[in-house]
């Protein structure tokens, strides 16, 4: 499991995805405002690059 959310805080119901391709992360990150992507990249800099999916997410946010 990559992420677990508590659905009562979501604006729309969550969905279960079984693969990263199903998660459509590229579409989601492209839809984020540029400032939001920058802020997330800054937060990610606090973690070691050996953390799971670190480089993957940085590539998505940079694109």
Query: In terms of Cα–Cα distance, which of 29, 31, 10, 11 is closest to 20?
Result: 29
Residue 3 has pLDDT above 80, yes or no: no
10-34 tens-digit pLDDT: 677 777 888 878 888 888 888 989 9
12 Cα distance to chain centroid: 17
* pTM beyond cutoff 0.75: no
For residues 2 and 53, is the Cβ–Cβ distance under 8 A? yes
Residue ranges of the domains in the chain? 24-63
CA-atom Rg of the chain in angstroms: 13
% of the chain surpassing 70 pLDDT = 86
Give the helix ranges, DSSP H, for the chain: 20-23, 25-31, 34-44, 54-62
């Amino acid at each position: 499991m990559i992420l677990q959310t508590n659905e009562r805080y979501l604006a729309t119901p969550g969905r279960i995805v079984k693969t990263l391709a199903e998660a459509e992360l590229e579409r989601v990150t492209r839809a984020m405002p540029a400032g939001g992507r920058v802020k997330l990249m800054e937060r990610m800099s606090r973690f070691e690059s050996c953390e799971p999916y670190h480089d993957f997410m940085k590539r998505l946010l940079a694109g």
